[in-house]
Amino acid sequence: MKNWTAQEKIDYLRSQGLAELHRHFDGAIRPETLWGLSQKYYSAIPGMKYEGFVNMLSWDREHDRTLLDYLDKFHVPLQYTQFYDNIQQISYEICEDAYRDGVRVFELRINPVIHRRAGLTNRQVLNAVRGGMKRAQDKFPDLQMGVTVIAIRGHGGNMAKILLREVVGEMAVFHDSPGVVGFDIAGAERPFPPILFQEAYALARKMGMRLTAHAGEDSGPENVWQAIDLLGVDRIGHGVSSAQDPELLKRLAKDKITLEVALSSNVQTGAVAAIKDHPLRKFLDAGVKVTLATDNPTVSATTLTQEYLLAIETFDLTQDEVDALIRNGREASFIESPPLPETVS
């Protein structure tokens, strides 16, 4: 693809039916939607202009250095995602944005607990998300969608199990519209390693959910090992530090565990110092299955096609390699035919 123009690359990517497996609800909301909600309820800061408001939502090259700096960008959106109708509208818009960018297989992940401050239940939050997805499905019938439920690491393993039991009724297998297909843990990684969530993952598996986990983004390869060996995940969110361990690369390749890589986000959270230092090329050369994702397109000011362009330009990807990244995403998706849950006692 070296001699292709940028537009030719974009046109090609959008014609392929991209798969996006790692996009967070909170980090993908249109700034103009949040601005409108801010004006409806109250201004985030009285007298603030739209440009200043957008800056509060986006990563700042001058001031933001760590994962915690990055996560701090979610505080403003959370003021407006506590209400059923807002969640439903935002869910629809996120799906619409993905579709317009060429995505045809789309998994949206969300932790419902943090959207309950106005009295919604976990199930109501997910029902609102599903409602927005159903509206998107009606408008874009060729868009396949599913929800991955996130448990926040800092809430602990017991809360993760409670969350799972509360949302089982929103699983896709029980509906003729998009629903929950996967389970994930996210948040501060170092103090809360995967070993703390073994029971929760065993329960999620018994319920019929497919499994992923944020690991190796803000910690060493030991957390990726734990996610594989103790949680039994199908995919790893980020997994950047896996490149430090040759045996782990062999294991990822052997077991066909897909890494959900978000290049811009990995730089912005400090997982890698610069885009040229990202181990994407090392993953590909080791035979590890990788797919690209946006993580938080509003925070990172990116789109999935932009992430592919960044990968192509930085790592001189061939068309075959780009096709493999797209194919990996489609094949690793949790959306197709989730298994029926077992009886959960």
Domains of the chain: 6-30+84-332 (3.20.20.140)
Predicted confidence (pLDDT) per residue in 65-80, tens digit:
677 777 777 888 999 9
Q: What is the pLDDT of residue 334?
A: 97
Q: How many C-beta atoms surround the C-beta of residue 287 within 10 A?
A: 12
Average pLDDT of the residues in 38-61: 81
Please tell me the distance from the alpha carbon of residue 24 to that of residue 54, in angstroms, as a whole number.
Answer: 18
Provide the b/e sequence for 81-90 (b: ≥16 CB within 10 Å): bbbbebbbbb
From the candidates 107, 217, 260, 307, which is the catalytic residue?
217
307 is catalytic: no
Is there a contact between 149 and 126 (Cβ–Cβ < 8 Å)? yes
> Residue range 106-132: average pLDDT?
98
Contact between 194 and 223 under an 8 Å Cβ cutoff? The reply is yes
pLDDT tier for residue 345 given thresholds of 50, 70 and 90: very low
Q: Is the pLDDT of residue 248 over 60?
A: yes
Mean local confidence (pLDDT), 141-151: 97
User: Which strand (E) or helix (H) includes residue 310?
Assistant: helix 304-315
- Burial bucket for residue 242 (CB in 10 Å: 0-12, 13-18, 19+): buried
CA distances from 43 to 39, 51, 54, 194, 216 (A): 5, 13, 13, 39, 37
pLDDT at 57: 86
